[in-house]
Amino acid sequence: QFAKIIATASYTPDNVVTNDDLSQILDTNDEWIYSRTGIKERHISTGQDTSDLCIEVAKKMLDESGLDANDIDFIIVASMTPDYQSPSTACIVQGAIEAKNAWALDVSAACSGFVYALTVAEKMVGASNKRGMVIAGDVMSKAVDWSDRSTAVLFGDGAGGVILESSQEQHILSSNLYAQGEKANCLQSGKSPVTNPWVKSDSSSKENSLEKLSMDGRQIFSFVVGNVSKTIKDYSEQIDYYLLHQANARILDQVSKKIGQPREKFLQNIEKYGNTSSASVAILLDEAIKNEILTLGSGQQILLSAFGGGLTWGNILIKL
């Protein structure tokens, strides 16, 4: 038994924040942001949480596939900004679309989340002839420190997903997941304090809020160019398009050069969304299909590659 993608969808909040909008609240400007990241604007929630974005994606996928919610056997949500520790965001989605036959699981792998979740889901479908939703969503705007211009300008909010169904022929040809935990401190977000009557805390009273995102950009940048290039260059001959996590346009420049592949094969939409963390590859895939650059069932070979906090990274080779 294999798995194949039968539907894709994506959703971003209506509210668009341009680089010029940011220069009104931060000591930054369009020229710096665009030249260093490739970002022109991003979609920022005006109140929707991660589950709300994921529910929009789930509903779009049911509409487009003609499936009923009860046809879905599992829902996996990848996010580094879940609504709660509990319930899982996947459970909130399951309840909202009334997918009564679906079990629900959240996956936490930062910006690699969609690739990690798709790999897990493919194993589930292949092993048990089931149908599942894999949705990646992040409201990064609630995680970033809006007084830190080095990170606040980079991120955006969004969600994207696929429906996987069992299939006789193989479509997900290979997937590899990686982690490098000793670099865990390069990208941290959402630490919750340990508070209880027995904690020998110092005088400062630990407030209950989550810590804001902090990132060692330089470390991550060099980690990505080195490790991602090394693990994807062996696929080169057979790839029509590369769908890399949209963290920074310079990454696409450097990785394409490092593996000797045409830059045009590296799809890009960071200018419109910024870095939507786990959702970025899912949004890129859906847009490429909706724009007819990619077509399900065409036999086109694409490589999804995501990388980020953890540090994690992962690659999936798919024949559409």
Ligand X SMILES: O=C(O)C1CCN(c2ccc(-c3cc(CO)ccc3Cl)cn2)CC1
Which one of 39-47, 123-131, 163-171, 218-226 is the stretch in contact with ligand X (CB under 6 A)? 218-226
Cβ-based nearer residue to ligand X, 81 or 248: 248
Catalytic residue flag (residue 275): yes
The rounded distance, in Å, linking the Cα atoms of 173 and 119 is 11
The rounded distance, in Å, linking the Cα atoms of 78 and 115 is 9
| Identity of the residue numbered 154 | L
The answer to whether residue 144 forms part of the interface with ligand X (CB under 6 A) is: no
Catalytic residue flag (residue 245): yes
Angle at 24 between CA 23 and CA 25, to 5 degrees: 90
Q: Number of residues interacting with ligand X: please give it, by CB under 6 A.
A: 16
Site string for ligand X, 159-188 (x = CB under 6 A): ----------------------------x-
Cβ-based nearer residue to ligand X, 111 or 118: 111
CA distances from 165 to 4, 105, 298, 314 (A): 5, 17, 17, 22
CA distances from 19 to 136, 155, 250, 294 (A): 25, 12, 18, 30
The answer to whether residue 316 forms part of the interface with ligand X (CB under 6 A) is: no
- Whole-number minimum distance, CB 111 to ligand X, in Å? 4
Dihedral angle computed from the Cα positions of residues 112, 114, 119 and 124, in that order, rounded to the nearest 10 degrees:
140
Query: Which position among 54, 91, 111, 186 bears the catalytic label?
Result: 111
Site string for ligand X, 225-264 (x = CB under 6 A): ----------------------xx--x-------------
The rounded distance, in Å, linking the Cα atoms of 281 and 287 is 10
**Residue ranges in 10-69 that form contacts with ligand X under rule CB under 6 A:** 36-37
The rounded distance, in Å, linking the Cα atoms of 169 and 180 is 33
The answer to whether residue 277 forms part of the interface with ligand X (CB under 6 A) is: yes
Cβ-based nearer residue to ligand X, 80 or 289: 80
The rounded distance, in Å, linking the Cα atoms of 306 and 24 is 32
Residue nearest to ligand X (CB): 217
**Residue ranges in 74-93 that form contacts with ligand X under rule CB under 6 A:** none
SS3 303: strand
The rounded distance, in Å, linking the Cα atoms of 100 and 71 is 9
Q: Under the rule (CB under 6 A), what is the footprint of ligand X?
A: 36-37, 111, 154, 187, 217, 220-221, 224, 247-248, 251, 275, 277, 307-308
Residues belonging to the active site: 111, 245, 275
